[in-house]
Amino acid sequence: MFRKIPRDRSIQFFLFFSLRAQASLNRKRKVKNKNIKQKNSVQQEVLFIHNMDELGLGKKKQSPGGADQMEVDEGGVQAQTTEQQDELSVLLKPLQALSEQDLYKKLKHIESELEFHDIQEEYVKYEQKNLKRELLRAKEEVKRIKSVPLVIGQFLEMIDQNTGIISSTTGSSSHVRILSTIDRELLKPNASVALHRHSSALVEVLPPEADSSIQLVGANERPDVSYADIGGLDIQKQEIREAVELPLTHFGLYEQIGIDPPRGVLLYGPPGTGKTMLAKAVAHHTTAAFIRVVGSEFVQKYLGEGPRMVRDVFRLARENAPAIVFIDEVDSIATKRFDAQTGADREVQRILLELLTQMDGFEQTTNVKVIMATNRWDTLDPALLRPGRLDRKIEFPLPDRRQKRLVFQVCTSKMNLAEDVDLEDYVSRPDKISCAEISAICQEAGMQAVRKNRYVVTAKDFEKGYKTHVRKTDGDHEYLLR
C-alpha cells in the first residue's frame, strides 16, 4: 500500500495529476488491448485443441515420405485447460451474482484505482528525483564548507582580461589570474576580493560592505531619545535642527534664497553636557540614513585601513542619501598636525587628510550631513574647523539655574517623589554640575529608596545622592589628584 500523500503537497499532487491524466488514459487503453489479445490467443488455442480431438489426431505419425507430423499430448493439454478453467471459475464465482450494471461499476472502480496508483507511482518517482537533487546540492554545500578558506584582499589594477594586481592583508602585492566567471565590470580599484589560499587566484568579488565594520543604523535600532527627553538646551536644539534637519527636509528654501546649507556641525563642550544625547535625538526624529562612528574605530592595525574606512563611511552615506554621519570623539583622529616621528602618528594624520578630502573634495554632496562631537575642540586641526567643512559650531556649556531646573524636571518626571522633596533647593545651589551629574543624582536617590525597600523617594535620598556625586571631601580630592 502507498502512503497517504501529505496535505501540504496536495496542490502539487493535483497539478501533477492534471499533467499525467492523458498519459494514464493511454496506458489504460494499452493494458486493455493487451488483455483482449491474450484472451483471443487462449480462445484460439482451446479451439485448436477441440478441432484436433474431433479429427482424432493423436501422437506423431511417420509419413510415407519420412516427414514428422505434429502430435498433441491430449492428456497434458486437457489437464492444463481444466486447471485454467477451475481458476477462472473461482475468480468468476463472486461476480456471477452481480448484475451487468454492478459489474460495470466495479470495473470502473478498479480502473480508477489502477489509474490513481499509476499517478501515485509517477508522483513518487518525481519526488525521488527532487530528493536526489537536494541530496546532491547538500553534498556540494558540505564539500564547499570543507574546502580551503579564502583570503581577503584588495584589487589594485587590471592588467588584461585574465590577470590583475591585488594586495593581500599582509601588505604585499601580487600578479594573479582572474577566474573567467567573474564580471569584469565589478573589478574596480580598492574593491574587496576573495583569493585562493594557495594560488592567490581571484575567485570572487565581495560586496562593498562585506569587509567593512561600518553599518547603517536600522529603523529598529534607532535610539528612542526625543527632544522632549532632553531638559533645556533650547538654543542648541534649534541650531542643530536648522543645520541638519531643515536642509534635508526643505532644501528648496535654500535654493530660493541662493545659499548653500551647512555641511557639518561641531558639538563641543565639557563632558556630560548632552552632546551625544542630542545626536541620538536627531537620529530618532529624522528619516534619513544614520551612520554612527567613534573616532577611535578609524585607527587600525594595518597601514591604509583607516583611510579606507573613512572612504567607506562616506561612500555608504552617498549611496543611502540623504544621510547623516555622526563621528563621536573626533579629537582622537583630528588633532593639530605636527612633524610625526612614528608610523602610528603618520597614519592618524593620513586619516585626517582623508576625512578633510571627503568632507570638502571633488565628490562633495549636499545630501550628506556630518555631525562631530568632542570635549577638546581647542586641539582640533584648523583645516577641519574652517567654514565649508564645519560651518556650524554649537557650544554645550554647563547648565545655569534655568537649565538645571529643566533637567531635574525631566529626570524626575517618572519618579515617585515624597512631599518633602524640593527640587528648587538643589537648583539654587552654586555648584557647577553637568546634565549627566544631575541624572546621576536622581538615579542615586532612587537607589537609596530601593535599598531601604521604599516606593517613595524622600528628600534625604536626594541629599545623599547629591553628596555622592557633587560634594566630595578633601580626601576624595587628594585621591583624584594623585
Q: Which of 50-59, 201-210, 412-421, 431-440 has the lowest mean pLDDT?
A: 50-59
Residues of the chain with CATH 3.40.50.300: 227-395
Output the pLDDT for position 67.
43
Mean pLDDT of the region 413-436: 85
Output the pLDDT for position 25.
61
CATH topology for the 227-395 domain: Rossmann fold (3.40.50)
Distance CA 225, CA 437 (A): 18
* DSSP secondary structure, 426-470, as one string: HHSS-----HHHHHHHHHHHHHHHHHTT-SSB-HHHHHHHHHHHT
Output the pLDDT for position 113.
84
Closest by CA position to 154, among listed 363, 304, 320: 304
Select the more confidently predicted residue: 7 or 164.
164
Mean pLDDT of the region 90-110: 71
Contact by Cβ (8 Å): 399, 434 = yes
Contact by Cβ (8 Å): 337, 351 = no
Report the chain's mean pLDDT, rounded to a whole number: 75
In CATH terms, 151-205 corresponds, of 3.90.1150.110, 2.40.50.140, 3.40.50.2300, 2.60.40.1220, to: 2.40.50.140
pTM of the model: 0.57
Three-state DSSP at 158 gives strand
Closest by CA position to 247, among listed 385, 386, 371: 371
Tens-digit pLDDT profile for residues 290-314: 888 888 888 877 777 778 888 878 8
Residues of the chain with CATH 1.10.8.60: 401-481
C-alpha distances out from residue 322 to 366, 370, 456, Å: 9, 11, 47
Bridge partners of residue 326, in order along the sequence: 292, 371
Select the more confidently predicted residue: 319 or 268.
268
Bridge partners of residue 372, in order along the sequence: 266, 327
CATH topology for the 401-481 domain: Helicase, Ruva Protein; domain 3 (1.10.8)
Residues of the chain with CATH 2.40.50.140: 151-205
Q: Strand order in 191-195's β-sheet?
A: 173-177, 163-168, 151-158, 191-195, 202-205
Residue 343 has pLDDT above 70, yes or no: no
Distance CA 254, CA 231 (A): 30
Tens-digit pLDDT profile for residues 196-255: 877 778 888 887 655 555 555 555 567 778 888 787 788 888 888 888 888 888 878 888
β-pairing, 173-177 with 163-168? antiparallel
Tens-digit pLDDT profile for residues 79-96: 666 776 666 666 666 666
Distance CA 351, CA 312 (A): 12
Cβ-based neighbours of 381, under 8 Å, separated by 6 or more: 334, 335, 336, 337, 352
Three-state DSSP at 202 gives strand
Percent of the chain at pLDDT exceeding 90: 1
Output the pLDDT for position 415.
85
